[in-house]
Chain A
Amino acid sequence: MSAVLELDGLCAGYGPMQVVHDVDLAVRPGERIGLLGLNGHGKTTLMRSVLGLVDWRRGDVRLDGGSLMRAGPHQVARRGVVLIPQGDAIFPGLSVRDNLDSGAYMSGSWRRRDERRERVLGIFPQLADRLGQTAGTLSGGERRMVAIGRGLMADGSVYLVDEPSLGLAPGLAQRMIDAVLSLELGAGALILAEQNRALFEGRVDRVIRLHGGRVAT
């Protein structure tokens, strides 16, 4: 079975510092992968390097067999890689509705944005009353819902979700994880980065541990 996303000897870093060392990974269609690692061990850099959002990278990243090494971040996004970044990656000055709709910016999803927004509101019902509100004025938990919701608006194939639980109370954190894991992947795949194994224990197909920027065995 061929892989959706393949990392081949991927190294990446910022300036003189190398953060990710020789990571090999083949993600199969439909697979949910838990990426486990402590703070500062390269989870975020690994995810960002798939889109080229690092100073430099070496090795190869392939999506459905095609290399992504020469594509800019927006081109990778257009090919179906959805990164839900760490922290509150929202557009603070725009309304909640605009934030969600921006996730469907790709022309294919844009036409179906109403239907997709309904689906996100089904997952996070409390956003429904806040569609017109400026996203920067939301509470921390609601912002995270917007950030995740934005990712769910796209017709993605590979979802990279970076610590959706970060800084949230346990109950809320679990809801975010549930929302992410409830995604129907089809032939796509999901990589979920977390520090706390208990949050996704038993609900992902395999767990990969990242230690010092390398895949630990």
Chain B
Amino acid sequence: MTIVVTTIVLASIYSLVAIGISLTWAGLGFLNLAHGVIFAVAGYGAWLTAEHLSEGPVAVILAGMLVGALAGVFVCVVVFLPLDGRPNAEIRTLMGTLALSFLGVNLLQEIFGPQPKALPSIFEWGNFEIGNAVVTADRSGAVVTAVAVLSLVVFALLRSRVGLGVRVLTQDPEGAALVGVNRRTTALAILAVSGALAGLASVLLAQVFYVSPEAGYTPLVKGLIVAMLGGLGSVPGTIAAAVLVAACEALTSTYLGGQYVLITLFVLIAVVLLIRPRGLGGLLETARA
């Protein structure tokens, strides 16, 4: 039972991080390696809010999401918009975000110091038990918040006009232009939402860990893995991949030990991509002609 609970908690946080990476990559052909630093910056945004403004849970969560969204917009304005449409834009934006990522981490180090910061606890409804597993408040809170926000994002993606614009961009950039989708403003929307999701993940994860300058590296790597495994641009695929990766981690650390997690994870990726080179998304979204 503990394994199931751990899987669900990890999966919700990975989904939050990976959907942003996936949509940015599929919709804009833009691999955002600064996603991790957005995660860290949002964590500090939430921490500053808790220190100076309010420790209220809603304020801290919203601050994390807002700062994440702003950081996403910043990455878009500084790296994506100036380079989009230029020759080799894919590799140049990749390098740009890598540079921004190093810069950002060191800047955070410079401003806040290497000492990790703790966020106030947000969820205080106590622990409860499912079967033999104790579910702490921060874990249940993380799942509830993540699922709620993700459902909202998926709903917007499927039902709203801008959401359709994003999906159309992931399918065919030229067709998107023909129906009047503005790639640049849609890019801003994608990165703002991705940043907000990363910010939420950051606040939720900081309930267990701490906010630190390097806090974003592991989520970035896990997010990339999940996005790739899920099939780029496919939201259901990404969520399925997040569950798979989380289950793999939970099972490995329970039965083999934490040091084997990366090994089993890469075996899993290799197997999945051998069978389905386009990732799980292809399973759930039938044939792309």
CB nearest to B162 among chain A residues: A105
| Chain B: minimal CB distance from A108 (Å) | 10
Closest to A106 in B: B180
Interface size on A, residues (CB 8 A): 31
Whether, in the assembled complex, B200 has its beta carbon less than 8 Å from a beta carbon of chain A, the answer is: no
B171, A77: Cβ atoms closer than 8 Å? no
Given A93-B171, A98-B167, A105-B168, decide whether A72 and B161 contact each other with a Cβ distance below 8 A: no
Cα distance A150–B179 in the bound complex, in angstroms? 8
User: Are B171 and A94 neighbours in the complex by a CB distance under 8 Å?
Assistant: yes
- Whether the Cβ atoms of A137 and B286 lie closer than 8 Å is yes
Is A70 an interface residue when CB atoms closer than 8 A count as contact? Answer: no
Q: How far is the CA of A98 from the CA of B182 in the complex (A)?
A: 17
Verify A85–B168 contact, CB threshold 8 A: no
Q: Is A6 an interface residue (CB 8 A)?
A: no
State how many angstroms separate the Cβ of A136 from the closest Cβ of chain B. 4
- Which residues of chain B come closer than 8 Å to A91, judged between CB atoms? 167-168, 171-172, 175
Smallest CB separation, B163 vs chain A (Å): 10
* B82: min CB distance to chain A, Å: 16
By secondary structure, the B interface counts as: helix
The distance from the CB of B141 to the nearest CB of chain A, in whole angstroms, is 34
A73 at the interface (CB under 8 A from B): yes
Closest to B85 in A: A72
Produce 1/0 per residue, B157-176, CB < 8 A to A. 00001001101101110111
Chain B 218-261 near chain A by CB (<8 Å), digits 1 or 0: 00000000000000000000000000000000000000000000
Whether a CB of chain A sits under 8 angstroms from the CB of B86 is no
Neighbouring B residues of A94 by C-beta, 8 Å: 167-168, 171
Q: Which residues of B contact A93 (CB under 8 A)?
A: 170-171, 285, 288
* B119 touches A (CB below 8 Å): no
Give the interface SS of chain A, mostly helix, strand, loop or mixed: mixed
Return B168 CB to nearest CB of chain A, in Å: 5
Q: Are B288 and A77 in contact (CB under 8 A)?
A: no
Q: Is B130 an interface residue (CB 8 A)?
A: no
B58 at the interface (CB under 8 A from A): no
Which of chain B's residues have a CB closer than 8 A to the CB of A101? 164
- Is the Cβ of A85 less than 8 Å from the Cβ of B178? yes
The distance in angstroms between the C-alpha atoms of A134 and B171, with both chains bound, is 12
Asked if residues A74 and B161 are in contact (CB atoms below 8 Å), the reply is: no
Given A93-B170, A150-B179, 11 more pairs with CB closer than 8 A? A51-B177, A51-B178, A53-B174, A73-B174, A73-B178, A74-B177, A89-B172, A90-B175, A92-B171, A101-B164, A134-B287
Binding site for B on A (CB under 8 A): 51, 53, 72-75, 77-78, 82-83, 85, 88-94, 98, 101-103, 105-107, 110, 134, 136-137, 150, 154
A-B contact pairs, 29 of them (CB 8 A): A51-B178, A73-B174, A73-B178, A74-B178, A74-B182, A74-B183, A77-B180, A90-B175, A91-B175, A92-B171, A92-B288, A94-B168, A98-B167, A98-B168, A102-B164, A102-B175, A102-B176, A102-B179, A102-B181, A103-B179, A105-B164, A105-B179, A105-B180, A106-B180, A107-B161, A134-B287, A136-B286, A137-B286, A137-B287
